[in-house]
Chain A
Amino acid sequence: MRWRPRSTASSADPMSAAVSSSASGWPRRRSKLLPAALWPLILLTPAIVSLASVSFYPIVNGFYLSFTNTSLITQEQEFTGFSNFLRLWSDAQFWNAWWHTMWFTFASTVLETVIGLGMALILCEAFKGRGLVRAAMLVPWAMPTVVTSKMFGWLFDGQHGIINYILLHAGLIDQNVNWYGSPDTAMTTIIIADVWKTTPFMALLLLTGLQTVPTSLLEAARMDGAKAWTTFWHIRLPLLMPTLLIAGLFRALDAFRVFDLVYVLTGGGPADSTETLSTLSYKVLFSTLEFGYGSAVSTAMFVTELAIAVAFCLYLMRQIRRAR
């Protein structure tokens, strides 16, 4: 531990020069310049200012913009009441994107949780090379999503992609599939890419949850002759449930915002078959420059996400109450 006399402490510290007299006062002697009660406020201010200006202000401002006809082309900005939302309600493109987003969120969250759980159960056992496997699992997570997107563009390329080659030679398909170039399979390709990128990380989160299950419990079950499946179903899964649900919630909220993957791989196409709420908002905002209507789309998205979060939390609370 590095203790130093106070005089050097204040000279080494960029902030303490101005406040050194009060710093010395904390907390036994009453300070001369700054009361101790002010310290938390001072230390929290930078974080509060940052989050307030870059997160809260835009949300509130976006909410306001969604009630205006703001456009960067016509330079208008007038209050137009609910007209943007009425337009949204009858906008087929919006609902198209809404359903795609919901489907993507649902499918990727479920797949990632289930496959992630499987991976975690394997990693829970002791075997040679476990450290290597665990380290490798961080690779998809660390890779920039744009790179993942391009990488899957090459893996799933309709002509020379290696996935087509493998499937063709394994006899699983009889001709090349135009994965993300065809409206029928494009969304599936994007879900596969997302599942690839996020599942290993999900598994690592679930693994830490699994490792908190007391081994004595598992030992006792084995003594009683319980089969692996029984142990999993009656001991591990119930104890893992809170971790599983919370990890699922975070994952779902994250999946709901999907942008990079779609924007880079398909740009929402072909024929709008992969358009999600984020890519649609982005296009309305930055292609047509209709900031009013674009904000209405993103506000609707925010409301949907909030609803998902609240529904999930209510379910979680009911589960916890029932467990008691």
Chain B
Amino acid sequence: MTGLSSPLRSFVLYLGAALILLWSAGPFIWQFSTSFQLDKALTSGTPSLIPDPLTFEHYYNAFVEKQLHRYVWNSLVVSLATTFLCLFVGSLAAFALSRLNVRGRFGILMVILSVSMFPQIALVGPLYLVASNLGLLDTYTALIITYLALGLPLVTWVLFGYFETLPREIDEAARMDGVGVLGLLWHIILPMSLPSLVTTGLLAFITAWNEFLFALAFTSNIDRQTIPVGIANFTNQYYVPWGDIAAASAVVTVPLIVLVLFFQRHIIEGLTQGGIKE
């Protein structure tokens, strides 16, 4: 924007920034406001951003009638288990690829990356048959095993990228001290990689928390269904309960947004590394 005169330039800049802010936050703010408004106000024909009167009726409906907390619990169990497994398996793989002498490691990394590009709909049928034969339908196990594989490529890539930035001299020094392979990983590399572990863990958590297709196919009752499936099924017989849906959306999205905002810098760095720079 070097060609524009200064006041005009900053006007355009702030207008653009305001538009981006409206774009990113506007819809969710409206959804959030909706969750506190009476159905009567929502259908009155003159929408208002400030709830008047304020009501918690939709939150009551979401938790008491629709049992939202049970979906939240299922999602928490599945997502946390997925996160820790992803970090465990991913860090072993990334460590081997980065620190040990692996032949064709670039090829292996490319294969891992290309796996994440497979259309998931092509996986769901055969996996459903396997899960059904093993009696794993309607279990946390089936979801966790699947989500581990979905999260693994990104986790491995980002951790690999981070491990590569740690100086090799550390390995040498550890070796001199007689530290073993696992000792090097567990006591030296992992403690140094804490920021990256937090980011990748968060990414794995979000992947599992938001996943819909496999949860829809593999679970059929509220004992095991996760939040996306629960919210997708939020319907009443005669009308769509937009207020209740908005309340449930707020409940499952706000914690995620808080986490993401807290770790935003790391997330952007981590994803750019894993997704773009080869």
Give the interface of A toward B (CB within 8 A).
1-4, 6, 9-10, 12-13, 15-16, 19-20, 22-28, 36, 39-40, 43-44, 46-47, 50-51, 53-59, 61-62, 65, 118-119, 122-123, 125, 127, 129-130, 132-147, 149-155, 157, 159-160, 162, 165, 196, 199-200, 203-205, 208-209, 218, 221-222, 226-229, 231, 243, 246-247, 250, 253, 256-257, 259-260, 263-264, 277-278, 281-282, 285-286, 291, 294-295, 298-299, 301-302, 305, 309
Contact = CB atoms under 8 A, between A and B. Distances in A.
Contact of B24 (A62, A137, A263): A137
Nearest to B111: A51
Contacts of A302: 118-119, 122
B219 interface: no
Contacts of B249: 147, 150-151
The interface residues of chain B, by DSSP majority, are classed as helix
Given A59-B122, A143-B257, 19 more contacts: A2-B191, A16-B182, A25-B180, A26-B180, A36-B181, A51-B112, A51-B152, A61-B129, A119-B16, A133-B20, A140-B27, A142-B253, A144-B227, A146-B227, A218-B2, A227-B3, A247-B275, A250-B275, A291-B129
Contacts of A19: 182
B82 to A, nearest CB: 11
B256 to A, nearest CB: 5
B123 A13 contact: no
A4 B187 contact: yes
Contacts of A218: 2
Nearest to B39: A160
Contacts of A4: 183, 187
Contacts of A299: 122
B276 A243 contact: yes
| Top 9 A-B residue pairs of the complex, sorted by shortest distance between their CB atoms | A23-B180, A54-B149, A43-B96, A58-B126, A47-B93, A144-B210, A61-B126, A227-B3, A146-B228
Chain A CB within 10 Å, residue with most, of B100, B117, B122, B186: B122
Contact of B2 (A228, A260, A285): A228
Contacts of B259: 142
Contact of A298 (B119, B174, B267): B119
Given A12-B186, A153-B240, A205-B275, A137 B127 contact: no
24 contacts: A16-B186, A22-B180, A47-B93, A51-B152, A55-B115, A58-B126, A119-B20, A123-B20, A127-B17, A132-B21, A134-B268, A142-B253, A142-B260, A144-B231, A147-B249, A150-B232, A150-B249, A154-B242, A160-B47, A228-B1, A247-B275, A263-B216, A264-B232, A278-B119
Chain A CB within 10 Å, residue with most, of B28, B117, B119, B128: B119
B77 interface: no
